[in-house]
Amino acid sequence: MVTFHTNHGDIVIKTFDDKAPETVKNFLDYCREGFYNNTIFHRVINGFMIQGGGFEPGMKQKATKEPIKNEANNGLKNTRGTLAMARTQAPHSATAQFFINVVDNDFLNFSGESLQGWGYCVFAEVVDGMDVVDKSKVLQPVVAVCTRTCQKKTLSLKA
């Protein structure tokens, strides 16, 4: 379990180590290394998702490690409350950024090994604190939540 401690309350997530092992390892490695410390949820779109993990306050982008393999063909779906890796148009370009789906986003699911079909890899789900996510989804980007600290299995966020 990973806990996000935010200024709106706690968000507890469960990772799917068996379905997305490389993605979960990547996420937890970034946590252990303190990468998410002082990062913000910089993209907040009500009716879609909230995204974080790559920018510090002032929209200063952080340097990341090499991209990882897209594991979106793992059978998991981008449903409300799931976490998935953000990426560019290139299917295997995810690094540190992730998003929390605030609605079912079926169009983000894997449908085939093509440029348009790869989808976005779900690697975790919110098990407690979806009310906190719902509060965050209507806030202005950049001021919603800021990462304070990150440890092995605890990710603390505070604005």
Q: What is the pLDDT of residues 133-142, one digit of tens each?
A: 888 776 655 4
CATH no. for residue 45? 2.40.100.10
- pLDDT, one tens digit per residue, over 111-125 is 999 989 999 999 999
Answer yes or no: is 155 within a domain. no
- pLDDT, one tens digit per residue, over 66-94 is 999 999 999 999 999 999 999 999 999 99
Answer yes or no: is 159 within a domain. no
Answer yes or no: is 8 within a domain. yes
Answer yes or no: is 95 within a domain. yes
**Would you state the pLDDT for residue 147?**
46
Structural domain total, the chain = 1
pTM over 0.85: yes
Domain that holds residue 77: 2-148
Answer yes or no: is 157 within a domain. no
* Helices of type H across 6-156: 21-32, 130-136
Answer yes or no: is 45 within a domain. yes
C-alpha dihedral, 88 to 94 to 99 to 104, nearest 10°: 70
Answer yes or no: is 156 within a domain. no
Predicted confidence band of residue 108 (pLDDT cuts 50, 70, 90): very high
- pLDDT, one tens digit per residue, over 23-59 is 999 999 998 888 887 788 888 888 999 999 999 888 8
